[in-house]
Amino acid sequence: MKLGELLHNVHIVESNADLELEIAGVSYDSRQAKPGDLFVAMEGYETDGHKYIPMAREKGAACVLCQHRPEGEGAYVVTGDSRAALAQVGKNWFGDPAASMTLVGVTGTNGKTTTTYLLKDVLEKARGAKVGLIGTNQNMVGQEVLHTERTTPESFALQGLFRRMADAGCTHVVMEVSSHALCLKRVEGVRFALGVFTNLSQDHLDFHGTMEAYADAKAMLFRQCDAGVYNASDPWAQRVIQGAGCPLLSFGEAGAELTAEQIRLAVDGVDFEASCGGEQVPVHVNIPGRFTVYNTLGVLAAAKQLGISLADSAAALRTSANVKGRVEVVPVPYDYTILIDYAVTPDAIENVLKTVRDFAKGRVVILFGCGGDRDRTKRPKMGKIAAELADFVIVTSDNPRTEAPGAIIEEILPGLAGTATPYVVVEDRVEAIRYAMDHAQPEDVIILAGKGHETYQIVGREKRHLDEREVVAGYIAQQKERA
C-alpha cells in the first residue's frame, strides 16, 4: 500500500516522506519492525516509543510516523497524536472491516466477560448470527478460539482481528472495552451499534488517579455508540452516561426500565422475572450469584436494543454455560467444594463471597492476593472485606510483577487486623492452595480468588505457568498415591 493511502484521514503536521512510497507493513514495536514497514512511535504509559526509532530504522523501517521530528536520516511523518494516527492507519490497512459488522462494546469494572459471553450466546441462538468475541478470557471467531494478551487489543491489532472476523463471515462482534483502551485510543474511530455499562468500583487507580477520572474514561464509550444500555443502580451511572448523545435503556432495581422481580438464588444459578414496559418473562441462568442478575439484565437490555425480544433472549440464556474462571466449580472427590473466580477488586471479592454465602452449608474460605504494580489502596480494603464475609482467610500472592510478594501481603494485612476472622499467610500460591485443601473441613466452600481464567503468574516481567485447576488435580493425584 502506498504511504499516502495508508495515511488517509491522518492529520499530518510535517513530513519529508514521499507519499508514493510503497509500505510493506506496519509496526509499533521496534522489536517487530521489518524492512519496508511504517513504524509508528507512540508515547506510552511505561515508555516512549520515540526512543526506539533508531532501532526500527536499523531493521529497515521505510518511514516513521511520530509526534516529534526524529533525529537522523530517513523518511518521517509528524502527526499531532500518534495513537489516534495508528488507529486510523489500522482502518486503512485492513479496509475498515468493522463497517460491515454490528459491534457491541461492554465496559465496566466487573461483569464485562460474563456479559459478552452471554450476549454472544443470545445472538447465536436467537438470531443465528456468527459472532466474534474479544475480551479478557480469549478472543473468538465464531467457535474458533484465539489467544489474547489483553482485554482490548492495540488499535492496529484490533483492526486486524476485525478483518479476520469479517472475512470469516461474522455479522456481529461483542467486545470488552477497558478504560485503558478508551484512554489509550485503542478503539479510536470505531463506531459501536451499542454500548453497555455494567458497573464501576475501585480498580486501576494507579492509571486513572481518581474514581472520577476512571468514570470519565468509561463514559467515553457512549460518545461513539448509536445506542446504549446502562446499570441505573450503579452510583456512578449518571456520570458515565452524561453527554452520551444516543438513545439509552436502563436496567437495574426499581425505577429502571428493565428490572428483575421475584429473584431466587441457588447453588446452580439464578431465577427471576424480567420486567420491561409491562412485559414479564421468566429467566434462568446457570451462573450463581446476585451479581448474575445484574449481568443478565444487561444482556437482556442489550439484546432488546438489538431487536431481540425478552422471551427469545430468555430462551437462549436457559441453556448458556458458565464462563471459565467466573464462579467456576473445580471437581474434587472430597466432601468440600472448590471454586475459581477472577475477583481482583474489593467489589468483586464482596460479590463472590456473598454469592457463596447464599448456598454454603459449611465454612466459607477465601484464598486471595493482590496484583503488583497496580492500585495499592485497594489492598487493605480487600483484606477487610475478606475478613468480614469469610470464615477463614488465606492471604497469598497473585501476580506480584516487579513488587516483592511479601511487601504486597503486608499492605493487605491491615484490613484483617483486629477482626475475629482467623487467617494465615502462605506466600507461595501453589503452597497456599495445598494448605487450603490440607485443612479443608466437610462442606467447606473454598474460593480461589484472583486468577480466574489465567493460567500463569507474572513474577518480575516473566510469565510463569500456573493453572489452579492443575494444582488441584496434582494434589488429588498425590493423595491417591499416598493412599
Among candidate residues 133, 147, 138, 141, the one with its CA nearest the CA of residue 175? 133
50 SS3 class = helix
pLDDT for residue 197: 96
Burial class (CB in 10 A: 0-12, 13-18, 19+), 430: middle
Neighbour tally for 139: CB within 10 Å: 20
pLDDT for residue 209: 74
Q: Which one-letter DSSP state was computed for residue 429?
A: H
Rounded CA separation 291/353 (Å): 11
Rounded CA separation 393/436 (Å): 9
- Please write the tens of the pLDDT for every residue from 327-385: 898 999 999 999 999 999 999 999 999 999 988 999 999 999 999 999 999 999 999 99
**pLDDT tier, 423 (very low <50, low <70, confident <90, very high otherwise):** very high
Kind plus residue range of the DSSP H or E element containing 473:
helix 468-482
Rounded CA separation 310/283 (Å): 9
pLDDT for residue 113: 92
pLDDT for residue 150: 77
**pLDDT tier, 322 (very low <50, low <70, confident <90, very high otherwise):** confident
Q: What is the pTM (predicted TM-score) of this model?
A: 0.85
Q: Which residues have CB under 8 Å from 203's CB, separation 6+?
A: 109, 214, 344, 345, 375, 378
Rounded CA separation 303/314 (Å): 10
Pairing verdict, β 102-107 and 131-134: unpaired
pLDDT for residue 43: 86
Whether 228 contacts 234, CB under 8 Å: no
- Percent of the chain clearing pLDDT 70 (strictly above): 98
Q: Which residues pair with 176 in a beta bridge?
A: 106
Q: Which one-letter DSSP state was computed for residue 407?
A: H
Distances 482 to 334, 470, 475, 479 between C-alpha atoms, Å: 16, 18, 11, 5
| 284 Rama sector, left if φ>0, alpha if ψ -120 to 50, beta otherwise | beta
Mean per-residue pLDDT over the chain, rounded: 94
pLDDT for residue 47: 79
Q: Which residues have CB under 8 Å from 32's CB, separation 6+?
A: none
